[in-house]
Amino acid sequence: MQELKDKVAVITGGASGLGLAMARRFAREGMKLALADIEEEALRRVEQEFRKAGIPVLAIRTDVSRGHDVERLAEKTLATFGAVHVVCNNAGVAPGGAVWESTVADWEWVLGVNVWGVIHGVRVFVPIMLRQDTPCHVVNTASVAGMLSVPGMGIYCVSKHAVVTLTECLYHDLAERKSKVGVSVLCPAFVPTAIIDSERNRPALLRNPTRARTPEDHQREEQMRHAVQSGRVSADMVADMVLDGIRQERFYIFTHPRIKAAIHSRMEDVLNDRRPTDTSKPAKD
């Protein structure tokens, strides 16, 4: 997909972080924007920013874990712009904790946003793209956590592994039908965004009022916060990579190429029937 001017991009999680960076990058290419986010106030701020800049924009509060919300997003996008050409299923949350410590509420929240959000995005928008029969592209935001298995991030890794394989299967299904819809899976590592504070958007019904936070929880959160905030690859740089990936029809978009060594180590564990290597720790000489 080469020509983006006047095309329509739908971006979930579009009011902050990677989603907002993608929106700004697409806007510079002359695209029209349909932005979805669960944060109403941030969404209105971003909508105003684009309107002042003369960018055609539609902003809709959306809980991607709810299928009818995503369906309404599609309906309003088509009613406003008449088509959809790029869909970035980007909304995500990132709690930590040992696997056995994750509550049912934790699983429902994370899988609802990170997995069902992508499922709904694919289920709702891909049929529209197929009917249009024009060059289109789907970008699903996973993570390097979708390629690795690390301690303290089990629930997040599960969700992102699901996004990776969902996207791979989507690619095969579309290729089998010789469709004009391209597919990419975005696998960022540590990028300075507000995802470390994603608890701010957890629904009240899925909170954990009875589970006390342990010293390990606090330590893990601080380590993750430091890693995210000290990341050298910015959200704007990732947005450039996404745009290039769409134009080059690149399937895997890795923001941090050096992480491939850890992915290679994990693949070797699988192929050589070894116990899993802790790729979160530096390799021993």
- Is 156 noted as a catalytic residue in this protein? yes
End-to-end C-alpha distance for the chain, whole angstroms:
45
Q: Nearest 5 degrees, angle CA 9-CA 14-CA 18? A: 100
Residues 6+ apart with CB under 8 A from 65: 112, 113, 116, 117, 120
* Active-site pick, 81, 125, 156, 190: 156
Q: Which residue has the tokens 């290419």?
A: 29
Sign of the Cα torsion 29, 30, 31, 36 reads positive
Q: If we measure between CA atoms, which residue out of 235, 271, 243, 282 comes closest to residue 2?
A: 243
266 in Cβ contact with 277 (< 8 Å): yes
Enumerate the active-site residues.
Answer: 156
